[in-house]
Amino acid sequence: MKFMRMAALLMVMLFFSSTAWSAGLTDRDVQGFIATMQELKPYYDQYTEDVEDDGDATSTAQVVTDWASGLKERGEVEAILSKHGFDFESWATVAQQVTQAFMAVRLGKDGQDIMGQMQQSVAEIEGNKDIPAEYKSQMIAQMHTSMTEIEKALNAPPEDQEVVKPFASDLDVIFEMQE
């Protein structure tokens, strides 16, 4: 749940910036991203404590959107980003690259292999004789749609994946993701 919130946070912050892909990631980019997120996280945690969030995806997305808008309006983020060598646009680019590369490392073939798990789930659904055919086809269609989206998200350049690997434990903390 917290991983999804932090991922949603990053996606919303990316939404507020018009971003062009830059050159590949560097160690310095990843270190700056980690330091920035460490400073931003308490702001986000406090905000989520102060508002109603029932935990569903729609509610969480709205909370994240409102929080990111408020920070940008108040200028609080600019000082934090500047301290670590970023502006909104450069940070958004690096945040997107780091997040995508990290997700590819943790959830890709060499990590948790989420695509393999989803393919196995599809096979189990297909083989389950207790699920009515109409539900089965709906479930499989939903799984395939999800798999297509996840595959896009995990399509980070191998070079970027190699750069984030040494920082995986720090990024685990940022995303509160546990193996």
Select, from the ranges 11-15, 29-33, 68-72, the one with the highest average predicted confidence (pLDDT).
Answer: 29-33
Q: What are phi and psi of 140, to 5 degrees?
A: -65, -40
Give yes or no for residue 28 having a pLDDT over 50. yes
pLDDT digits (tens, 9 = 90+) for 119-148: 999 999 999 999 999 999 999 999 898 888
Measure the CA–CA gap between 142 and 174, rounded to whole angstroms.
30
Task: Select the more confidently predicted residue: 173 or 66.
Answer: 173
Q: What is the pLDDT of residue 178?
A: 39
Angstrom distance (rounded) from CA 73 to CA 89 = 15
- What is the predicted pLDDT for the residue at 108? 77
Q: How far apart are CA 79 and CA 73, in angstroms?
A: 12
Residue among 178, 136, 170 at smallest CA distance from 30: 170
CA gyration radius, the chain: 18
